[in-house]
Amino acid sequence: MDACAHVEAQVRQAVRESGIDPVSEHAVVRLMVDDAVAEFVASCADGAVADFSGPLPDLAQLAQDVGDAVVGLGPLQRYLDDPEIEEIYINAPGRIFVARHGRSELTTTVLTARAVRDLVERMLSTSGRRLDMSSPFVDARLADGSRLHVVIPDITGEHWAVNIRKFVVRARHVDDLVRLGVMPTNAAAFLEASVVAGLNIVVAGGTQAGKTTLLNSLLGCVPARERVVTCEETFELQLADHPDWVAMQTRQPGLEGTGEVSLRDLVREALRMRPSRLVIGEVRQQEALDLLIAMNSGMPSMASVHANSAREAVTKLCTLPLLAGVNISADFVVPTVAGCIDLVVHVQTGIDGVRRIREISSLSGRVEDGVIEMAPLFVAGGKLAGRTELRRGDGYPPHLDRYAAAGIDVVALLGAAGAEVA
């Protein structure tokens, strides 16, 4: 038996005898680990550890490894603790990757198939979600806010596929995004003014482009007097500082195939909860229709959607509602999208791995030959310090009266923005 396995066995026995919960009492377990390591060293000096041979390992590393195994996620814990790592994914027990600065790296960590299953079971233990042959996919939120996604055979070929998406940057306001280089100050000031004025905003981008971070930062601009209700597949948005916030997530069906709560169900229920602001974490399917209906009723709303540009986001939002039923037609959806959505913000990850806003466009509400009219407010163009910069376009947002009612002169704000070098 190696030193780590020996000390881990001692700590687990001590945890069982004490009756503490290692998940919620990390500090106590860490003290037990330190005591077990000290006892192990003393026993080795006395020759009392019969099943251990070899030189003593690094004691600090030994304590870290044992603690990670008992209260963390074992060999994966160091990647979760590394602030530069954005995502961890397991393609096979011996093929474990991490994403750092937007790029993938193959790690030296090697697990067994049994270890992968044990880690997944540990991660799901507090989520209330299940994974079996009848439900081979799972989407869950870990205690630290990371998002877990798992797929098992026979959906995958041979091994379990595991993704852990971390939230490395917890931006709470658009000012944080300025500091991180996601957007310039003038664009941030305009977006904050638009949130305060109650415009309907859609955040668009590809996978891992930073849509949730941007949406979360926009929510940080919502006035404290407003009641915010968020609807998500799994909890990702964080508005802990907002005084009036209700968060809801979907639920998978039970073993009997009943009890499922879809995103459409959440949106309909949210409208009965007297929200001042409705937010859908990500629009993927028919819930786009419910979002449009909420916006059309005068409910300021925000959402994110997978799309490669602002124009493609609008096109997608004209298509998704058609999935809700044969009685929903493009003749209804297209003008509704044009009249309900005010701004589309597109964010993208550059080749350098940095996430930046590429465009902010407005919808005027007009439709010509089935095409929704859009105007560029900010567009990527020009170079400064080797980076593509976001510059003022020639468009203006709709609903100038809403800005005025909020005490904001948006024309002067955008005029100043146009004169400013991003």
Burial class, 176, CB count within 10 angstroms (exposed 0-12 / middle 13-18 / buried 19+): middle
Q: Evaluate if residue 269 carries a pLDDT over 80.
A: yes
Residue 137 DSSP label:
E
Residue 26 has pLDDT above 80, yes or no: no
**Residue 231, beta-bridge partner list:** 248, 280
For the chain, the structural domain boundaries read: 1-72, 75-168, 174-419
Asked if the model's pLDDT at residue 111 lies above 70, the reply is: yes
User: What is the average pLDDT value for the chain, to the nearest integer?
Assistant: 87
pTM of the model: 0.82
Does residue 46 have a pLDDT over 70? Answer: no
Task: Tell whether the model's pLDDT for residue 359 goes beyond 50.
Answer: yes
Give the pLDDT of residue 419.
44
pLDDT for residue 388 is more than 70: no
Residues 6 or more apart whose Cβ sits within 8 Å of residue 93: 110, 111, 112, 113, 115, 116, 159
- Helix/strand/coil percent split, the chain, to 5: 35, 25, 40
- The burial class, CB within 10 Å (0-12 / 13-18 / 19+), for 50 is exposed
b/e code 403-418 from CB counts within 10 Å (16+ = b): beeeebebeebbeebe
Architecture per CATH, 75-168: 2-Layer Sandwich (3.30)
**90: nearest Cα among 117, 127, 63, 56:** 117
CATH among 2.40.30.10, 3.40.50.300, 3.30.465.10, 3.20.20.140 for 174-419: 3.40.50.300
Lowest mean pLDDT among 129-143, 193-207, 307-321: 129-143
What confidence category does residue 417 fall into, taking pLDDT thresholds of 50, 70 and 90? Answer: low
Return the pLDDT at 181. 87
Residue pair 231/267 in contact by the 8 Å Cβ criterion: yes
Asked if 275 contacts 227 with a C-beta cutoff of 8 angstroms, the reply is yes
Pairing of strands 245-249, 201-205: unpaired
Band of pLDDT at residue 242, cut at 50, 70 and 90: very high
What band does 50 get if pLDDT is binned at 50, 70 and 90?
low
Mean pLDDT of 189-209: 95
Task: From 364, 362, 358, select the one nearest 379 (Cα to Cα).
Answer: 358
**Which range is least confidently modeled, 131-135, 224-228, 278-282, 296-300?**
131-135
Please give the residue that has the higher pLDDT: either 303 or 67. Answer: 303
> How much is the average pLDDT of 173-190?
92
- What is the mean predicted confidence (pLDDT) over 72-100? 91
Helix (H, G, I), strand (E, B) or coil at 241: coil
Amino acid at 295: M
Q: What is the residue whose two structure tokens read 């949210």?
A: 270
Cα 373 from Cα 344, distance rounded (Å)? 12
Residue 210, Cβ neighbours under 10 Å: how many?
25
CA distances from 387 to 203, 348, 380 (A): 22, 13, 10
